[in-house]
Structure 1
């Protein structure tokens, strides 16, 4: 029987393979979405977010015993994968510390810029921290190879197995100290940022990052206790390193990945919802003038299954609706505005809802007038409609409200009242 088989880890590896590969795969999916977003909108912040996710995702994949053993076999050096895992976590630590410094608080933003990648006061502390990380990570690499931890191969018990080797013990303590510093720094900064944000997916995501960072600190505490005990010849504490510590790490990684992914997923859901909600309004203006659209309406199934380029599709749909509004304006009955306003006041609608009702009624009436062959009104007699001067940030929400009112009973009443008043 080989030496490697004699010293093989007695721990069952299948659960670790499943958990580590699962977390790593999901995190890499999130990282791929971030790099895709960066390609659409290149900025330093998104690039650092990508590295903050990709580095630990890779570490979890490499830490899976099946991958760990494969890497060691290909490199012809047992336990080399341990160094790669820890360097991946150091990559996350460095990137996340940078990210926390680049985040711009809402009250300090210029032109809605979330990431501050240019200010001197941003990069001074960033360069200092990166310099410290670079020096200490280089020291970690030197200490690892100086310890020569080649036998036995220990994908799950490296820390406690080699804790008695001085250079490896120093390597492990340095790693945990850097990781712990980064986690506390990230958690503290994220909590401060979250406190200044309004309720919503972004605030929840930032808080999840903070909670995940603090939970991950439990991993370092367990590891340090187990390493210290092993170095002192105390047995019976290995479970802290092989079970409880990884549990803290896995839970923290899940929370951190959710913190990164949550706001993006919420934004994607919102874009998809808006894209589909605008369809009735887009259909209305398309039927009025088919030259407005770049292409024919997608089928119902195509619309339901749309998952890509939603921002571009929704923005284009909004522009085509706006063009349709301008095209239909000469057929808008001026009487529809007071009729819809009166109904809105009677129904107790707020200003945004009232504006949406007026525009929906105006467009429905305009299409009916156009189809009936009613001559267009001269420019000086055309009724001004609310929402045409809305800011881009508010415009989409306004159009979605208009789309929802398009076939509402109140809208039909407003069109009928305007028609009766001018008939």
Structure 2
């Protein structure tokens, strides 16, 4: 299980990051940095995916070229390094970013051309995802790795330096932490590639390379680099309240909204979707949250004939007796009143004889109303569970009495 997670976990994480970015992307204006961000993410995702054993083998079988996945992986790493450097140059030197990144692009292109030539002339006929163990002594492998290392080091080291530099100037804590994670992740990747260069040199010239050092570096450095960079790239977006906060509020309001919808389906612009689909849909969270608040208020308005002021008074007295006050008191009264009104509407009962309206509690603005309805939804779950337990108890007592008679 651990090996399976190590080989496939980073690729799945990269795909999850891309899904989140796609869900958010259409609302954002396209800029040079956002385009480069997509290049980096897609290159990292392809690199991690092609290294997964099943994909690695499938690519070789489709192309008829053994170990072609290794060349694709390294090409993607070079592209990701160039893209990351481009983003950080735009942040640190916006006027000179293109001019400064051009020499790196030319250098990386030359390095990749040399890698392709060496790959073509190196004999690696057996497709094996554990390439280093099988071909470490093969002529051409060390040369290939040195060219690859020479192509990636300038961009990677500059990226780590610029990320650390800008992290010190950033005022947003999430951006600051994200840049530091990127810097550490890039340095982990550099350390891994230098370690592999030393490993290939040791195998080529018959020098002992300690296995106690090689195994943990192989096992954990690339994994740490991938996770740190992916988290660093997406951290400023994932901490945003319209992802976590809005999603949490939508889910907390869902039971109350569903209960009102079942009484009056006309309140909903879009019918309820399964919970799993709602969790996976990260589009327009703020708009959906606003619409849910409006639909809950419409549901209450549709129940106005069944809202009994006597229920509200009794609920208020009971809640106050339990020590509740302020918004929690108002929320429990509102939840109890709504539950009673929904039960009456489902049963087709006549409206209460006392027509005096019950005051509508809530916030003074949208944020305040969301916070209040969040409390109401929580109280509604408590009230509905309490009534279900009472109904079950009464049913069991009736069954017991029927059995005795």
TM-score bucket of the superposed structures, by smaller chain: 0.5 to 0.7
Report the TM-score, using the length of structure 1 for normalisation: 0.62
Distance 1:395 1:291, change over 3 A: same
Equivalent residue for 2:155, pick from 178, 184, 200? 178
Distance 1:258 1:269, change over 3 A: same
Indicate the residue corresponding to 1:88 in structure 2: 76
Deviations 1:382-404 (A, max 9, x none): 7352226223xx65443222111
Deviations 1:147-185 (A, max 9, x none): 5652222862378753764x8634422323423433454
Indicate the residue corresponding to 2:107 in structure 1: 136
Is 2:222 the counterpart of 1:246?
Answer: no
Q: Provide the rounded CA distance (Å) in 2 between the counterparts of 1:99 and 1:218.
A: 22
Equivalent residue for 1:403, pick from 369, 377, 382? 377
Report the TM-score, using the length of structure 2 for normalisation: 0.64
Deviations 1:99-153 (A, max 9, x none): 5678xxxxxxxxxxxxxxxxx9884365355434322212212433565652222
Q: Provide the rounded CA distance (Å) in 2 between the counterparts of 1:275 and 1:387.
A: 17
Contact 2:177-2:232 at 8 Å conserved across structures: yes
Indicate the residue corresponding to 2:394 in structure 1: none
Indicate the residue corresponding to 2:323 in structure 1: 347
Distance 1:382 1:62, change over 3 A: closer
Q: Provide the rounded CA distance (Å) in 1 between the counterparts of 2:215 and 2:34.
A: 34
Indicate the residue corresponding to 2:8 in structure 1: 22
Contact 2:186-2:225 at 8 Å conserved across structures: yes
Distance 1:360 1:206, change over 3 A: farther
Question: 27-36 or 306-315: which moved more?
Answer: 306-315
Q: How much is the aligned-residue C-alpha RMSD, in angstroms?
A: 5.3
Contact 2:308-2:337 at 8 Å conserved across structures: yes
Q: Provide the rounded CA distance (Å) in 2 between the counterparts of 1:38 and 1:389.
A: 26
Contact 2:20-2:282 at 8 Å conserved across structures: no
- TM-superposed CA distance for 1:278, in Å, is 2.3
Distance 1:339 1:210, change over 3 A: farther
Question: SS of the residue aligned with 1:52?
Answer: helix
- TM-superposed CA distance for 1:88, in Å, is 0.5
Indicate the residue corresponding to 1:127 in structure 2: 98
Equivalent residue for 1:385, pick from 361, 364, 381? 361
- TM-superposed CA distance for 1:321, in Å, is 0.7
Indicate the residue corresponding to 1:53 in structure 2: 41
- TM-superposed CA distance for 1:344, in Å, is 6.1
- TM-superposed CA distance for 1:311, in Å, is 5.8
Q: Provide the rounded CA distance (Å) in 1 between the counterparts of 2:183 and 2:327.
A: 36
Distance 1:369 1:159, change over 3 A: same
Indicate the residue corresponding to 1:286 in structure 2: 261
Question: SS of the residue aligned with 1:278?
Answer: helix
Contact 2:256-2:380 at 8 Å conserved across structures: yes
Unaligned runs of 5+ in 2: 387-405
Indicate the residue corresponding to 1:162 in structure 2: 140
Question: 63-72 or 336-345: which moved more?
Answer: 336-345
